[in-house]
Chains A and B, each alone.
Chain A
Amino acid sequence: MIRAAAGVALVALLLAMPRLAPPYPITLLLPAFAYGIALLGLNLLFGTTGLLSFGHALFVALGAYTAAWLTTRCHVMAFEAIVAVAALAAAVVAVPVGLLCVRYVKIYFSMLTLAFGMLFYSFLYKFYALTGGDEGIRVLRPSLLGRGFADLDKVGFLTGPFYYYALAMLALAALVMRRIARSPLGLSLRAIRENADKAAFVGVSVRRYRFYAFVIAAVFGAVGGTLLAVPTGLADPLLAYWTHSGNLVFMLLLGGFDHFLGPLVGAAAFIFLQDFVMSLTVYWRFVFGALLAVIVIFFPRGLLGLLPPERAA
């Protein structure tokens, strides 16, 4: 009961934020929402299926570049279209990459995904004509549900319509993922994580289901990427850099990969923490590295792991 009440309070708070808080924190929440969606996907891979991908940023970058391409080069402004294309692109890319990667386990999987992530980064960096090289491609303001909101300036747009749109997308993504996690596939994936060999022996196609998880995660990642690109207005190669993937994993760990809401908590915590630390010192990476070490050693279940465990279903 307490949890439900807390949940409602949180949602109410989020809905009211634009009216309560100054613009800056609001604009911080936007990437948090975006990362939340991307992390929901990563959590399916890591928390549920036990596959640690160090290349998830590839799909986030893919989403961002899709948004950039469509708005800048193709003059397609409808955000719905952008999201759809990004999801499709992610699926298309994820199929060959996934087929390859799920044949390997654990460390090999992690390194292979890392390599693919960096491959994409190199591609983005080098193919100037296509991708704008190290400068990236700009992302123009998209239209939401057909409306351009031309009367609003950037901040007004971001803290107004876009904020609610992003929140709605996050809610939708969370609901979808919840459904997936509680589906037969979700159970099969958890079995694979627990004991892949035994899973095979009870008739679960280990490789194939891992592949499904991979593609789903990719789609979520790309959708998150499109959302991420709008506030910054830019899609650049660093989005695919391996440390970005590492950050994603960090966020997940911070929030707690055991819990369904872990990704969302982790994304928000990371963004705000990063903002805070960056304002203190330029050596934020060191601080974060140390923080990650502390988490891994002492709090592997993340922030949500600190809560008392919920009663078993």
Chain B
Amino acid sequence: MTLLEAVAVRKLYGTFCALDGVTLEIPSGQFVSIIGPNGAGKTTLVNVLTGLTPPTSGTVRFKGRDVGGVGPVRLARLGMARSFQLVSVFPALTVRETLAVAIQARRRRAARLFASLTGDRALWDEVAMVAALFGLTDELGRPARTLAQGDKKLLDVASAFALRPEAILLDEPTSGVSTADKHAIMAVLVEAARRLGIQSIIQVEHDMDIVFGYSDRILALHQGRIIADATPAEIRANDAIMATVVGRPLAAR
């Protein structure tokens, strides 16, 4: 079943063409990586796919519905979430509270006026569960601004995961993380996705090891166009693509 698709999407900023006729289709159950040099249009593509920016022409559909420019709230309701490259938290809220915001939004209970928050056992149990998945159990009571940078990033991503979206878009999930920790993070993300019922993960990533290590499929973007859409093995074998994206052919493994 196709979860997310873009059809002939073009995005123009004035006269600058950021996306030039992108068509892609992501089915349920795939782990897709979007790669490409800086300026290729990756972030623009993600913004369009997640309804943050409407495409200048073409359509974006999620679960069959047109989601061009619908905005983050609506999109979250429909079942798609995303995380950002720059870590974004609620500084004064504790880890526990941060996750609670997302979970109660998902359960459509975010606007309840007179319900007691502290008495909602189901909510706090789920908060604890998500926190455990991301290794944040020890930090539950701490305000987000006091966390170490790495934990902040985990929290940021965790709050997107807490929405239990069917598709999640991660914008450079391992950026700012030391190489040694990257695989640990990816393992956490994959496991969390499995446990929370997330069907598809789409990530923008620069680290080729991570890309090749986890993706089912790779989309290479260059100057606003998709120049390759294939499995990791096929991409790696394609010297032209590798040269464009990575800058030099990889040594044979």
- Residue pair A185, B88 in contact (C-beta under 8 Å): no
Chain A interface residues toward B at CB < 8 A: 179-180, 182-188, 190-191, 194-195, 197-206, 208-209, 212, 312-313
Q: Which of B94, B101, B109, B143 contacts A202 (CB 8 A)?
A: B101
Interface residues on B, range: 35 or more
Chain A proximity of B163: nearest CB distance (Å): 6
Chain A proximity of B84: nearest CB distance (Å): 8
Say yes or no: A204-B110 contact (C-beta < 8 A), given A194-B90, A197-B88, A198-B89.
Answer: yes
Any chain A CB within 8 A of the CB of B76?
Answer: yes
- Residue pair B117, A186 in contact (C-beta under 8 Å): yes
Q: Which of A187, A200, A201, A312 contacts B104 (CB 8 A)?
A: A187
Q: Which of B76, B94, B110, B114 contacts A201 (CB 8 A)?
A: B76
Q: Ordered nearest first, which 10 A-B pairs have the shortest CB separation?
A: A203-B105, A203-B76, A194-B90, A202-B102, A200-B72, A184-B112, A191-B101, A188-B110, A198-B88, A201-B72
Any chain A CB within 8 A of the CB of B202?
Answer: no
- Residue pair B110, A184 in contact (C-beta under 8 Å): yes
Cβ < 8 Å to A, chain B residues 34-59: none
Say yes or no: A203-B77 contact (C-beta < 8 A), given A183-B116, A187-B97, A198-B88.
Answer: yes
- Residue pair B88, A203 in contact (C-beta under 8 Å): no
- Residue pair B105, A202 in contact (C-beta under 8 Å): yes
* 30 A–B pairs (Cβ distance < 8 Å), ordered by A: A179-B114, A180-B114, A182-B116, A183-B114, A184-B110, A185-B112, A187-B97, A188-B104, A188-B105, A188-B110, A194-B90, A194-B91, A195-B88, A198-B88, A198-B90, A200-B71, A201-B81, A201-B160, A202-B76, A202-B81, A202-B159, A202-B162, A203-B73, A203-B77, A203-B102, A203-B105, A204-B101, A205-B73, A209-B111, A312-B143
- Residue pair A195, B106 in contact (C-beta under 8 Å): no
**B100 cross-chain contacts in A, Cβ below 8 A:** 187
Chain B proximity of A283: nearest CB distance (Å): 38
* Alpha-carbon gap, A209 to B94, bound state (A): 21
**A312 cross-chain contacts in B, Cβ below 8 A:** 94, 141, 143
**B128 cross-chain contacts in A, Cβ below 8 A:** none
**B112 cross-chain contacts in A, Cβ below 8 A:** 183-185
* Alpha-carbon gap, A312 to B102, bound state (A): 20
- Residue pair B93, A184 in contact (C-beta under 8 Å): no
Any chain A CB within 8 A of the CB of B178?
Answer: no
**B81 cross-chain contacts in A, Cβ below 8 A:** 201-203
Chain B interface residues toward A at CB < 8 A: 71-73, 76-77, 81-82, 84, 88-94, 97-98, 100-102, 104-106, 109-118, 120, 141, 143, 159-160, 162-163
* Alpha-carbon gap, A182 to B120, bound state (A): 12
Q: Which of A183, A198, A200, A205 contacts B117 (CB 8 A)?
A: A183
Q: Looking at chain B's contact residues, is the secondary structure mostly helix, strand, loop, or mixed?
A: loop
Q: Which of A180, A184, A203 contacts B163 (CB 8 A)?
A: A203
- Residue pair B118, A182 in contact (C-beta under 8 Å): yes
**B163 cross-chain contacts in A, Cβ below 8 A:** 202-203
Q: Who on chain A is nearest to B71 by CB?
A: A200
**B72 cross-chain contacts in A, Cβ below 8 A:** 200-201, 203
Say yes or no: A180-B113 contact (C-beta < 8 A), given A191-B101, A203-B73, A203-B102.
Answer: yes
**B102 cross-chain contacts in A, Cβ below 8 A:** 202-203
- Residue pair A184, B117 in contact (C-beta under 8 Å): yes
Q: Who on chain B is nearest to A311 by CB?
A: B141
- Residue pair A188, B90 in contact (C-beta under 8 Å): no
Say yes or no: A191-B73 contact (C-beta < 8 A), given A184-B115, A209-B111.
Answer: no
* Alpha-carbon gap, A179 to B112, bound state (A): 11
Q: Which of B88, B91, B104, B159 contacts A184 (CB 8 A)?
A: B104
**B76 cross-chain contacts in A, Cβ below 8 A:** 201-203
* Alpha-carbon gap, A105 to B71, bound state (A): 18
Say yes or no: A204-B105 contact (C-beta < 8 A), given A194-B93, A197-B88, A198-B89.
Answer: yes
**B73 cross-chain contacts in A, Cβ below 8 A:** 200, 203-206
- Residue pair B115, A183 in contact (C-beta under 8 Å): yes
**B92 cross-chain contacts in A, Cβ below 8 A:** 190, 194
Among B71, B73, B102, B118, the most chain A Cβ lie within 10 Å of the Cβ of B73
* Alpha-carbon gap, A183 to B112, bound state (A): 7
Chain B proximity of A204: nearest CB distance (Å): 5
* Alpha-carbon gap, A185 to B115, bound state (A): 9
- Residue pair B113, A195 in contact (C-beta under 8 Å): no
- Residue pair A209, B110 in contact (C-beta under 8 Å): yes
* Alpha-carbon gap, A188 to B110, bound state (A): 6
Q: Who on chain A is nearest to B141 by CB?
A: A312
**B89 cross-chain contacts in A, Cβ below 8 A:** 194-195, 198
Q: Who on chain A is nearest to B88 by CB?
A: A198
**B110 cross-chain contacts in A, Cβ below 8 A:** 184-185, 187-188, 203-205, 209
* Alpha-carbon gap, A182 to B119, bound state (A): 10
* Alpha-carbon gap, A197 to B71, bound state (A): 11
* Alpha-carbon gap, A50 to B33, bound state (A): 38
**A183 cross-chain contacts in B, Cβ below 8 A:** 112-117
* Alpha-carbon gap, A209 to B104, bound state (A): 14
**B88 cross-chain contacts in A, Cβ below 8 A:** 195, 197-198, 201
Taking A184-B109, A187-B97, A204-B110 as given, write out 14 further A-B residue pairs in contact, using a Cβ cutoff of 8 Å, ordered by the A residue number.
A180-B114, A183-B112, A184-B115, A187-B100, A187-B101, A190-B93, A190-B97, A191-B98, A194-B93, A198-B89, A198-B159, A202-B105, A203-B105, A206-B73
